[in-house]
Amino acid sequence: MKPVTILSIESSCDDTSAAVIRDGLLLSNVIASQKVHEEYGGVVPELASRAHQQNILPVVDTALKRADVEKNELSAIAFTRGPGLLGSLLVGTSFAKGLALALNIPLVDVNHLQGHIMAHFVEPSEQYRQTIPSLQGIEIQHPRYPFICLLVSGGNSQIVKVEAYNRMTILGQTIDDAAGEAFDKCAKVLGLPYPGGPWIDRLAKQGDENKYPFAKPNLPGYDYSFSGLKTSFLYTIRDMMKAESVTAVEELAERIPNFKEDMCASLQKTIIDILLGKLKKASRDERITEVAIAGGVSANSGLRDALTDYGRRYRWNVYIPPFSFTTDNAAMIGQAGYYKYLDGDFCPIDAAPYAKTLI
């Protein structure tokens, strides 16, 4: 029987990515990150769309070459339809449509958030593992349905009950900022480059997590809020600047030993406490002990360690995706697309991308 070969495309934010999955095995996954946003301290949508236009052809071409797959061997094209930046999504959507039309093969649209959760089911081929040292020799555990997934990225923070690849229920979500946004915005206040999450992660390792107590929200249910924490972080710095009679964060850092490290460690601990507190409640109420994390923030080493610790304490089976599948990538889109393809769930050629949606 002819193998099922899916080319997938992800372009929802500032990473252009293409992957090839054959019969459920990941053959290639190419990601071009956009450096152009660094100097602005955040993603500039117009620049992101332009960079996607420049990147998409070489990225798709490289993904096919690395997979050793010809275009005429493709069974379908899967693409991220949303949520995300509309201009960025348009580039991937239009490219996917054009190629699917030219090759006369079906199109499969994928919800980016479902994609992040499906990252847990990506099965890298031997060929792909050879290219990623951290994947060599490790066995990837896939969660069993139903499981609870904490989905934390730059744009979302949700607790999702996952009963099947296409049956997901949001139990709770942020009512204002996402966890990744809190990392990025606080990092910006400290004068760290964008995206700030990985920088905070690194500095937090050398800091005292109990040095600065920041405000935690008190919301009922499983919803999150991070805007108060951002304000608390900002006001702590403002008050310290006043006390030290300085006008810049760098001056504070010169005067107070380990200032940035302690701020990062305290912030990271507060975010982790907020995230895992609600996750614990959801797991207990739903009586589900298969617990996973997904999304860019799931790369955070403090969150990974804390989740592993919770797993030990509460007897959860914990699933943490390999680093390569945490931030935006086309492999996860291909995995969700592969399942949809097997179910014959295709999308019309006039499908428009969407900026906002739920799972």
Residue 139: partners with Cβ closer than 8 Å, 6 or more residues away: none
User: Within 1-20, which residues bind ligand KG4 (CB under 6 A)?
Assistant: 13
Among residue numbers 159 through 218, which ones bind ligand KG4 (CB under 6 A)? 180, 183-184, 195-198, 201
109 binds ligand KG4 (CB under 6 A): no
Asked if residue 226 binds ligand KG4 (CB under 6 A), the reply is: no
Question: Least distance to ligand KG4 from the beta carbon of 1, Å?
Answer: 35
d(CA 5, CA 20): 7
Under the binding rule (CB under 6 A), the answer on residue 319 touching ligand KG4 is no
**Part in contact with ligand KG4 (CB under 6 A); list of ranges 74-82, 93-101, 239-247, 297-305:** 297-305
Q: Are 140 and 126 in contact (CB under 8 A)?
A: no
Residue 321 as a binder of ligand KG4 (CB under 6 A): the answer is no
Q: Give 313's Cβ-side CA count (13 Å radius).
A: 10
Q: Which one among 8, 153, 283, 335 touches ligand KG4, defined by CB under 6 A?
A: 153
How many CB atoms within 10 Å of residue 61? 13
By CB under 6 A, tell whether 92 contacts ligand KG4: no
CA–CA separation, 220 vs 257, rounded Å? 38
- DSSP secondary structure letters along 233-260: HHHHHHHHHHHHT-SSHHHHHHHSTTHH
For residues 172 and 161, what is the distance between their CA atoms, to the nearest angstrom? Answer: 10
Under rule CB under 6 A, residue 296 binds ligand KG4: yes
Contact in structure between 159 and 172 (CB atoms under 8 Å):
yes
Residue 243: CB minimum distance to ligand KG4, A: 29
Report the residue from 87, 124, 154, 337 that binds ligand KG4 according to the rule CB under 6 A: 154
Give residues in contact with ligand KG4 (CB under 6 A).
13, 153-155, 180, 183-184, 195-198, 201, 295-297, 299-300, 327-328
